[in-house]
Amino acid sequence: MTAARRLVVAAVIEHEGRILAAQRATPTELAGLWEFPGGKVEAGESAREALVREIREELGCEVRVGAEVLHPDGLWPINERLGMRVFHVGCADALPAVGSEHRAVRWCLPDELPGLDWLPADIAVAARLAEPAGHANSGIPRSPVAILNPVAKGYPRAVELLSAGAARRGWPMPVVLETSRQDFGGGQAESALSMGADLVIVGGGDGTVRAVAERLRGTGVEMAIIPLGTANIFARNLGLSPRRLEAAVEVAMDASGRPLDLGVARFRTAAVPTQASRDHLFLVLAGLGHDAETVLATRPDLKRRLGWAAYFESGVRHLVRPPVRMMIAVDGRPAHARAVWSFLVGNAGRIPLGIEIFPEARLDDGLLRTMEARVMHLWQWIPVAWVGLRRRADSPVLVHGVARRLVIEPEEPTALQLDGDVFGPVVHLEIDVDPRALMVRCPESLRKDI
């Protein structure tokens, strides 16, 4: 069995469009060669923490770690024992000085980098950075845009944190575009793209995030999230909490973008049964049946006072509704008849209260998870409630599956909800997964877990 490589980190330190190269002074066999400074990750450190420490020790300056310079195989190879992760970095205070480990430092334009005599492990990194696309995603955006809901409770605090964070990092202050009752974020996202935004920070609830994601889908422009809404289900799946806005802003400004999957729904409604809708995205959950009816019937006054907990009050009123009958075809196979309280399709795994409704779901595996809630009698809700308390959706009346494409036709027109927004009633529904279609800045702790 091959032993796991020990991890090394390296910094692409940037200032005013130039990149720092450091010339080694030691050891003798490496003296005179150039490198991107860094060092080994110690036990208990994250890669980003190690890089901040190494640059402080080697060059005497504080830095902010931005996006990662990704290698197709995950790690830039050094040798059989060592692998390297490389990050774009900005100076948080004074510029680096020559330390004891280096003879000199030099600030180079990206296209000047291949002309230096590099350490063998850094040659490929320098070549990547010299390419126009290699330096474009630096993590220090030239044109950041924030799309914020101005009526959200945390709006003033979000603006304050963004302004202070940009000033500390030497960023331009993000242009702030406000959502409205007429436009939840889609039009603002179009404006951001037309302005050349290379980072869009979304401050709002799931509806705002979904509206912006629909416009950023497939563009490669990174999205970051500051959770300011009622449920914030997608943000919670990323480990972001509305109670920790400071942490969310740090992730928005410092984390690496990661390509995540999107759920895509198209449907025909009872009002226009012959015309299919445009693509509608969902980032977490689609629900057809009484799940959607529950969302639709939630009282606005309770939602304002109780947040996501208000949905339970509506849910109790729908417990004894008769099952919804529908035909369901999975991945091109013949359709089968089902009678369910609700049919759910998940892109992410968690809903509020931390319940893992789809424990095996990942946001980047190109798959959707399905669940049939086959609850026909009131007493069957007892084991479902117990499942909720245990935060695992594995009751016998909750039947799970996996799919890439679904075609669903309810017997009667039925409401559809996508991440809490209700559509329909629909008479025909098609759902697909769009793999790795949205770049999202995620906390370092979730690098391998979502």
For residues 238 and 450, the answer to whether their CB atoms sit within 8 Å is yes
With a cut of 80, say whether residue 389 has pLDDT above it. no
- pLDDT the model gives residue 352: 57
Mean pLDDT of the chain: 82
Beta bridge partners of 71: none
For position 448, what pLDDT does the model report?
A: 52
| pLDDT number for residue 322 | 75
Task: Please determine, for residue 134, whether its predicted confidence score (pLDDT) is greater than 60.
Answer: no
**Reported confidence tier of residue 366, pLDDT bands at 50, 70, 90:** very high
Query: CA 77, 83, 84: angle at the middle one, nearest 5?
Result: 90
Q: Which two tokens stand for residue 392?
A: 């695992």
User: Looking at residue 169, what is its pLDDT?
Assistant: 79
Percent of the chain with pLDDT over 70: 81
266 or 47, higher pLDDT = 266
Which of the four pLDDT bands, split at 50, 70 and 90, describes residue 124? very high
SS (H, E, C) 269-315: ECCCCCCCCCCEEECCEEEEEHHHHHHHCCCHHHHHHHHHHHHHHHH
What pLDDT sits at residue 62? 84
Q: Average pLDDT for residues 14-39, to the nearest whole number?
A: 90
Query: Which is more confidently placed, 281 or 350?
Result: 281
What confidence category does residue 320 fall into, taking pLDDT thresholds of 50, 70 and 90? low
For residue 298, the model assigns a pLDDT of 42
Q: What is the pLDDT of residues 150-174, one digit of tens each?
A: 998 899 999 999 988 888 877 778 8
What pLDDT score was predicted for residue 388? Answer: 45
Q: Is pLDDT at 319 greater than 70 in this prediction?
A: no
For residue 214, is pLDDT > 50?
yes
Residue 382 has pLDDT above 90, yes or no: no
Query: What band does 140 get if pLDDT is binned at 50, 70 and 90?
Result: low
Summarize the confidence of residues 437-443 as an average pLDDT: 90
Secondary structure (H, E, C), 85-137: EEEEEEECCCCCCCCCCEEEEEEECHHHHHHCCECHHHHHHHHHHHCHHHHHC
Q: What is residue 375's predicted lDDT score, i.e. its pLDDT? A: 57
Q: Is the pLDDT of residue 215 over 70?
A: yes
What pLDDT, on the 0 to 100 scale, is given for residue 315?
45
* pTM for this entry: 0.64
Nearest partner of 428 among 308, 302, 271, 310, judged by Cα = 271
